[in-house]
Amino acid sequence: MDFRDSPEEAAFRKEIREWLEANIPADWDRSQLSLIPPEDRVDMLRDWQRRLHEGGWAGISWPKEYGGRGATLIEQAIFNQEVARQKAPPPINVIGLGMAGPTIINHGSHEQKNRYLEKILSAEEIWCQGFSEPGAGSDLAGLRSTAILDGDSWIINGQKVWTSLAHVSQWCIFLARTDTTAPKHKGITYFLVDMSSPGIEVRPLRQITGSADFNEMFFTDVRVPRESILGEVNDGWRIAMTTLLHERGTLGFALSVGARVALDELIGLARETKKNGKPAFEDPTIRQRLASLHVEVESLRLNNYRALTGFMKSGMPGPEGSLSKLIWSESMQRLGDLAVEILGPAGMLERWDANPRVNTWQFIHLRSRGHTIEAGTSEILRNIVAERVLGLPKHK
Ligand SMILES: Cc1cc2nc3c(=O)[nH]c(=O)nc-3n(C[C@H](O)[C@H](O)[C@H](O)COP(=O)(O)OP(=O)(O)OC[C@H]3O[C@@H](n4cnc5c(N)ncnc54)[C@H](O)[C@@H]3O)c2cc1C
């Protein structure tokens, strides 16, 4: 297989590079992102996404009629590579772009596509994902939130947890049980819920990084219109699988380039940090760990090409995305651990808001704990890889 750009792809890459160079704000510094106060950060990232959309760079592979660029998945991947390489700001609406939007494209009616997609791209409406509940994370089909039809409305009750971005979202993709007598995978319906509906309470969860990007959500007699469902009543499990495949597959490509960039920076850190009077890079054990990380990041890149090939053939991300997410999350943990070790006591003791060089690595180290839990834990992903990628027998 030839991984080099065709002449058209090279021209596309050049166009993105030039656009990013001309448009990334002059004062932007990715290592400072976690230092920006949360409200300002949301405004700043929303403005950036609006600018991307106006430039025609949001929803690269989405249909043109719904505001996308109508480009190929390869071009989407090239875009992700360039954004990561130039350390451009991330878009604010990651769940809208990576999960809600693709699911609406796959399963929504024409009216729903018209209503929601363009506003996802422009970040006018931010989305969150209300799937997990206390007691229903890995065993998502065990969820207990309910929706009961009452005239022209559904009445929703229940509790969700770990809902990223719920505190700034206008819409939520939400799973609720609509048939309590059916087998657990069969009685679930997929809702598109307006977050301003009365009866929704959002409570932030503070993480070890100091930020509060995740939330608990409590739904008490929340009334939503009858047409707020995506697909058919009680067919929500099948539609949720589309969302999860996109979560692990579509986002994976951008993440792998991010891991490459982080590893290159880590190699730089090892060269410039002294350990026992010599650059840490000369320590054989550190070199060995850097070499292992290089192998992991390369295998991630190649697996992503494999996943992309499957996606282009079938039109849907495949189970290879679970392998990418698994390698990425565990590599990022090893990478963060090694960085903090190279920094020595400063990595643990220096104030994160006083030293940007330390702050980035502390953030990666602490945030990466959650990487092996979110979007499927490592154990669950290993089960998927064993059964659906390698074709091993199902566990009993
Ligand atoms: C940072 C972060 C962001 C998140 N964002 C969102 C979000 O926006 N929206 C959302 O809906 N959810 C979100 N989640 C929730 C996430 O999807 C769940 O935490 C995850 O699916 C695990 O579920 P759980 O926490 O209930 O753990 P459990 O499912 O209770 O798992 C506990 C342990 O048991 C293991 N285990 C469970 N079942 C099996 C099995 N069959 N085989 C082997 N081992 C098993 C797990 O691997 C884990 O180690 C987020 C989580 C985190 C940490």
* Burial class of 283 by CB neighbour count within 10 A (0 to 12, 13 to 18, 19+): middle
Spatial separation of the C-alpha atoms in residues 116 and 108, rounded to whole Å: 10
Say yes or no: CB of residue 377 within 6 Å of ligand 1: yes
Q: Which is the catalytic residue, given 82, 247, 296, 320?
A: 247
The pLDDT score that the predictor gives to residue 247 is 85
Q: What per-residue confidence (pLDDT) applies to 201?
A: 98
Give yes or no for residue 131 CB within 6 A of ligand 1: yes
- Residue whose CA is closest, atom 7 of ligand 1? 163
Question: φ and ψ at 174, to 5 degrees?
Answer: -135, 135
Quick check: 62 and 69 in contact, CB under 8 A? yes
| Spacing, Cα 329 to ligand 1 middle (Å) | 14
Say whether 379 sits in a helix, a strand or coil: helix
Give the separation between CA 15 and CA 348, rounded to whole angstroms: 42
C-alpha 137 – ligand 1 centre gap (Å): 4
Give the Cα separation of 89 and 123 in Å (integer): 14
* 247 catalytic residue (yes or no): yes
What is the model's pLDDT at position 1?
Answer: 64
Q: How far is the CA of 377 from the centre of ligand 1 (A)?
A: 6
Closest atom of ligand 1 to 132 CA is 11
State pLDDT tens for residues 70-87. Answer: 999 889 889 988 988 888
DSSP string across 36-55 = S-HHHHHHHHHHHHHHHHHT
Instruction: Return the best residue to mutate from 126, 159, 373, 395 for the ligand 1 pocket (most ligand atoms within 8 A of CB).
Output: 373
Give the position, in ligand 1's atom list, of the atom nearest the Cα of 373. Answer: 53
Beta strands per DSSP E along the chain: 127-130, 146-150, 153-161, 171-177, 188-194, 200-205, 214-225, 229-230, 274-275, 278-279
d(CA 168, CA 35): 18
Residues shown for the chain: 396
Q: Which residues of the chain have a pLDDT value below 70?
A: 1, 250-253, 352-354, 395-396
Q: What is the pLDDT of residue 352?
A: 65
The gap between the terminal CA atoms of the chain, to the nearest Å, is: 38
Q: How far apart are CA 254 and CA 179, in angstroms?
A: 38
Q: Give the global pTM.
A: 0.94
CB of 373 sitting under 6 A from ligand 1: yes
- The string of pLDDT tens digits covering residues 40-57 is 889 999 999 999 999 999
Rounded Cα–Cα distance for residues 165 and 332 (Å):
22
**What number does the ligand 1 atom closest to the CA of 378 have?**
47
The β-bridge relationship of strands 278-279 and 274-275 is: antiparallel
pLDDT tens readout for residues 317-353: 888 889 999 999 999 999 999 999 999 988 888 776 6
- Res 208: pLDDT: 87
Query: Ligand 1 mean position to 292 CA, how many Å?
Result: 27
Q: Which pLDDT score is estimated for 29?
A: 82
